Amino acid sequence: MTRSFHCFGLFLLAGFVVASLSTGTRPLQAQQKAPVVPPTFPTLTTPATLGAKPGSTVELTLTGTNLLDATSVWTSFPCQTTIAAEQKDAAKLKVKFVVPADAAVGFHTFRVATKIGVSNLRPFVVDDLPEVEEKPGNNKKETAQVVAAPCVILGTATVEAADYFRVPVKAGQPITIEAVGRRLGSAIDPVIILSDAKGQEIPGLYADDTPGLQTDARVQYTPVTDGEIVVEIRDTTYRGGADFTYRLRIGNFAGATAAFPLAVERGKKTDVGFAGMGLDGVKPVSVTAGAGIEVVNVAPVRAGGSSGWPVPVMVHDYPESVEVEPNNEIAKANALPVPGGISAKFAEKSDVDFFKVAGKKGQKLLLSVLTYELNAPTEVFLRVLDAKGAELAKSNPQLAGVRLEYTPAADGEFFIACEQTNYTHGPNEVYHLSVQAVLPEFTVILGLDRTEVPLGVGGKIPIAGIVRANGFAAAVDLTFVGVDGVTGTVSIPPAANPKPEAPLFLNITAKAGSKLGAYVGRIEAKAMIDGKPVVKVLASIDLAKAALGGIPTPPQEMTTQVAVAIVPEPPFALELKLDAVTVVKGGVLKGKIVAKRGDKFTEEIAIAAVTVPAMAVPKLVPIKKAELEAIVELSIPATVPAGATAVQFKGTAKVNGKDVVMTTPPLTITVTEVPKK
């Protein structure tokens, strides 16, 4: 077996977008390739339906690769986990989860750490409904599996087939049937169809791509007589397989589309209600969010029923309010401060909402709307008007996102008119509008959201780029926070422009004696903007999407995870030292690879290239037994493209009969053209 420590973020990785969550507006975006994870890191493929009830203890088998030598299982909620003593299968790991009684219903995540690295995130669902396993032979109405509500059925869609379940119902007792699949990262695009006890479809009780559920489906029904219904669930195009898992929730629970209000002010106690159909008997939830919290999930609970699926509420540092009707004309416009946010809805047909803002001459403002990010299906069209109703600016429905920059020509009030682009209305049609001053802005691009941190050596997260806008030219200080005893900092200078092929690195270290295992923190970015310190929590949006099967809008709290695996101190570490970091085409780079040997480790270390410029020719020799360095040379052909690139080498040695692989921290070199005579 080869045992590899990929220290210092070994592979030079193409980055994914990391966006600020601090403003509640759509951040700058940058197109990046998917990151490449070291092949020895553990990978989880556990089905998305994995979960347990609050207050329960379950023994589950996790599946994936490289799961030997597991040291811990991290969960995003308080949960005691115990790994089985015997581990013989790299593709399976038995773990006991002790879920506390007060665990929040909804979507959580977990990761596994080994002595090599830390895994990708996978969903873990906490649900207060009794679990029922789907049984074979339920692919016809006549052989529908009989289940009793309330329950949640753990199922898997079959190719070219549907699954059927027969459910007893009572007259006048509401019942909700909801498929949770795509929201967990499953490949299924579910359809739900209800039939009566005789197998006849009940008119209007069909759900496909229910608004706000990211292609999941939900049906709400109140029977008029006692009896039975047959619930059909399948993929919309009859696909199926191991990745097409679902949780089919059935019971007397509320099905909220979104929270309302959609955002709250940090530190301020706010009663949050819900938007959607069938919310009778559901009381608001009191929310108070403190420092470091960017989003809160709230679940609708109907008296005498089970919990509905939770919905997100954004947390902002500026004042938040709720629309007050009537505001369908300029004279009745609701006031909106700068900065400020307001939650509103298109409740009536042809509803137009007006808001007034006190503008200052020359101050550029950003008008931004959040909908899909918070589960709302609403399409909003913005117009800026003067006091007489004359149009001054408008949003572009052809662009992704609803945001509009406007600069008042004089001091005084201007008005914002919000309309539903598709002219629809109803309890689902909610949105959040904010107005803020346009300030210098930046987005940091990371190379990876996880790394290993060997004791005594440390690890690195590659910083693959920064996007600057609105004149931003300051330094950005990045800090890894949230894990006791684990620290990491790096400063991106004002003029620096890291690239995937020549990144900077966030150095991460663990204090001596730290316990091996998986830990998850976040990266905060601090910069001076307009003379004031601004701190942003970075969000790995694209990587979260990839981890959840390409889900369009991943839960925002999942996007801020940066995971580290504290691993044992390696028997040796390597460092590349070059005589120079600039080389002319056709020239030769010279240097040496220096080894730091642990106690009693004296074996020879074979050296090989990991990353060098295309067509460059390395000349390498091993670090001989008991020696501490070896010469390295790198010939740069005239055909190598000019510019910055990274150089990295690895060393392999035998330790207790096993191969151990270590790498040098990457160095950035610059290839230049041959000077003209």
Q: For 96-117, how does the pLDDT look when each residue is reduced to its tens digit (9 = 90+)? A: 999 999 999 999 999 999 998 9
pLDDT at residue 2 in the model: 45
What are the Cα distances from residue 490, in Å, to 224, 451, 462, 499?
65, 16, 10, 15
What are the pLDDT digits (tens) for 480-511? 999 999 999 999 999 888 877 778 889 999 99
What is the spatial distance between Cα 509 and Cα 507, in angstroms, rounded to a whole number?
7
The CA-based diameter of the chain, rounded to the nearest angstrom, is: 95
Neighbours of 511 (CB within 10 A): 11
Neighbours of 150 (CB within 10 A): 17
458, with CB counted inside 10 A (0-12, 13-18, 19+), is buried
List % helix, strand, coil for the chain (3-state, nearest 5): 5, 50, 45
Q: Which residues contact 26 (CB under 8 A, 6 or more apart)?
A: 368, 370, 373, 401, 403
What is the spatial distance between Cα 422 and Cα 410, in angstroms, rounded to a whole number?
33
pLDDT at residue 677 in the model: 67
Q: For the residues of 163-181, what is the DSSP string, one character each? A: EEEEEEE-TT--EEEEEES
What are the pLDDT digits (tens) for 577-595? 999 989 999 999 999 999 9
What six digits make up the tokens of 506?
């966030």
E strand intervals along 173-226: 175-180, 190-196, 201-208, 217-221
Mean pLDDT, the chain, integer? 90
What is the spatial distance between Cα 25 and Cα 434, in angstroms, rounded to a whole number?
8
Rounded to 5°, the CA angle 419-372-298 comes to: 115
pLDDT at residue 102 in the model: 94
Whole-prediction pTM value?
A: 0.85
**Residue 565 pLDDT greater than 70, yes or no:** yes
**Residue 14 pLDDT greater than 70, yes or no:** no
Bridge partner list, 130:
none
3-state SS, residue 148: coil
What are the pLDDT digits (tens) for 233-256? 999 999 999 999 999 999 999 999
Q: For the residues of 262-304, what is the DSSP string, one character each? A: SEEETT--EEEEEEEE--TTBPPEEE---TT--EEEE--BBTT
